[in-house]
């Protein structure tokens, strides 16, 4: 069995990673989130009770597991404290199990305000307005404030004042809105520092020592490959590396220490917000699948756009992540269809694309080339093994496997923990 596994979204996010991470966390010792922020939402259903986690790794729902928020994550302290309180109110022990990297960058109210104003002023990208992008921008511009800085009063005062001098000037001169008070932010974030101090640690050392001690580490990705800032549908992407490479940079664990990469896909395709989506359904089928699949964002509540399975997108994800195995979720949502399509190529201006094109014009205007397979028209939610699936459902999965050139390891036919089984 592989010791250290990375779980990656292989579409546009919302693939059901929370449930898959929860399953693999059972046999892991440490679960680490390595990128994104509270713009992501992982949903886990245990005995019909839903847990929606935005920052804390899903492994926290398993007793005794150590959970880490890595240096590649941007953290809103208020959101983190609310999530800790929610878990404790449900009887889940967090203290002594959750650790946040000293090097993780901190989201401030001016990040959220700038996110909101830029989204309104420029072409709509579909941001969650949580301040994620502006916080990452400060990190890259070397203006960011990390948790280690928050704990050093002299450094925190200096960097906060410098940031506010710049941010308040931008807010007043460009956006004509009021800036932020140094004293108010200083007091608010010093209070966060006091409350979170017991969780803050040098997590890169913790992780490497755990690996040295032969502990099993699970790397938890947020969003999906097609939202990766380098490998996604730029500019309609998130502001971090949601691909497997981000697992190393976002934790301080070298790539040679990661033994396996598992990609999670829906049996169809969804995306939230703006951006190209070649296999998007027409309205009637969109509404049908959206309702059956409960396709509404865990973070924003926004309705997700739905479409046929896009083999070009997932083949791209298999390649850039080095995916070893695939997990297919929400197969049951397709139970109601007479026939099902798989996109195997794009056609644009007479040219056939069998590989994912970076050109946003091609992606926005291409015509998907489909293969059509018969549906199975029977309820799969109670099925507990691959052999028990209808013949046409098995044929659909076999075709997906062949198109991707990657093995399907697990199949999910419902939102509960128990509604998952092996391909073998």
The answer to which of 107-111, 129-133, 200-204, 277-281 has the lowest mean pLDDT is 129-133
Segment 172-194 mean pLDDT = 96
The catalytically annotated residue of 22, 29, 42, 111 is: 42
Residue 111 a catalytic site member:
no
pLDDT at 379: 96
pLDDT at 424: 79
* Model pLDDT for residues 209-268, shown as the tens digit of each residue: 999 999 999 999 889 999 999 999 999 999 999 999 999 999 999 999 999 999 999 999
- Cα 232 from chain centroid (whole Å): 13
pLDDT at 51: 77
pLDDT at 286: 95
Residue 42 a catalytic site member:
yes
Indicate whether 2 pLDDT > 70.
no
The dihedral formed by the CA atoms of 186, 189, 195 and 200, expressed in degrees to the nearest 10: -120
The whole-angstrom separation of Cα 274 and Cα 421 is 34
pLDDT at 301: 75
Judge if pTM exceeds 0.85.
yes
For residue 371, which phi and psi values (nearest 5 degrees)? -105, 140
pLDDT at 32: 97
**118 is written with which tokens?**
């830029």
Indicate whether 298 pLDDT > 70.
no
Segment 156-178 mean pLDDT = 96
The whole-angstrom separation of Cα 325 and Cα 263 is 6
> Percentage of the chain with pLDDT > 70?
95
pLDDT at 353: 97
**169 is written with which tokens?**
């000037």
Q: What is the mean pLDDT of the chain?
A: 93
The answer to which of 141-150, 212-221, 264-273, 413-422 has the lowest mean pLDDT is 413-422
pLDDT at 124: 62
CB neighbour list of residue 284: distance below 8 Å, 6 or more residues apart = none
* Model pLDDT for residues 74-119, shown as the tens digit of each residue: 999 999 999 999 999 999 999 999 999 999 999 999 999 999 998 8
Choose the most confident range, by mean pLDDT, from 47-61, 173-187, 295-309.
173-187
Q: Which domains are delineated in the chain?
A: 5-101+200-261 (3.40.440.10), 105-196 (1.10.300.10), 265-422 (3.90.170.10)
């Amino acid at each position: 069995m592989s010791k250290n596994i990375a779980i990656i979204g292989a579409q546009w996010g919302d693939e059901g990673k929370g449930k898959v991470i929860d399953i693999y966390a059972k046999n892991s010792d440490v679960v680490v989130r390595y990128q994104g922020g509270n713009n992501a939402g992982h949903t886990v259903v245990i005995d019909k009770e839903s847990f929606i986690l935005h920052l804390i790794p899903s492994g926290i729902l398993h007793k005794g597991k150590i959970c880490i928020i890595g240096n590649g994550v941007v953290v809103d302290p208020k959101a983190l404290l609310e999530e800790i309180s929610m878990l404790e109110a449900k009887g889940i022990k967090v203290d002594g199990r959750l650790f946040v990297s000293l090097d993780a960058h901190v989201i401030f109210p001016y990040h959220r305000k700038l996110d909101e104003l830029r989204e309104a002023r420029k072409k709509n990208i579909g941001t969650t307005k949580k301040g994620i992008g502006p916080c990452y921008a400060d990190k890259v511009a070397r203006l960011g404030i990390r948790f280690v800085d928050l704990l050093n009063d002299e450094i925190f005062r200096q960097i906060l004042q410098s940031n506010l001098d710049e941010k308040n000037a931008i807010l007043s001169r460009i956006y004509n809105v009021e800036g932020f008070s140094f004293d108010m932010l200083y007091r608010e974030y010093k209070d966060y520092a006091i409350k979170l101090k017991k969780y803050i640690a040098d997590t890169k050392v913790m992780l490497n020592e755990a690996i040295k001690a032969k502990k099993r580490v699970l790397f938890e990705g947020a969003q999906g490959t097609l939202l990766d800032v380098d490998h996604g549908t730029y500019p309609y992407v998130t502001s971090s590396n949601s691909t497997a490479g981000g697992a190393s940079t976002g934790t301080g664990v070298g790539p040679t220490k990661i033994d396996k990469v598992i990609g999670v896909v829906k049996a169809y395709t969804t995306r939230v917000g703006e951006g190209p989506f070649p296999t998007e359904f027409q309205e009637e089928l969109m509404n049908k699948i959206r309702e059956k699949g409960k396709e509404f964002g865990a973070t924003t509540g926004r309705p997700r756009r739905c479409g046929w399975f896009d083999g070009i997108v997932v083949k791209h994800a298999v390649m850039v992540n080095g995916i070893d195995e695939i997990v297919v979720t929400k197969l049951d949502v397709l139970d109601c269809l007479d026939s099902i399509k798989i996109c195997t190529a794009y056609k644009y201006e007479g040219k056939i694309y069998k590989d994912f094109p970076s050109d946003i014009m091609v992606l926005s205007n291409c015509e998907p080339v489909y293969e059509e397979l018969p549906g199975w028209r029977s309820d799969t939610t109670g099925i507990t093994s691959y052999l028990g699936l209808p013949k046409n459902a098995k044929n659909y999965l076999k075709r997906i496997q062949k198109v991707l050139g990657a093995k399907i390891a697990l199949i999910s036919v419902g939102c509960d923990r128990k509604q998952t089984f092996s391909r073998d």
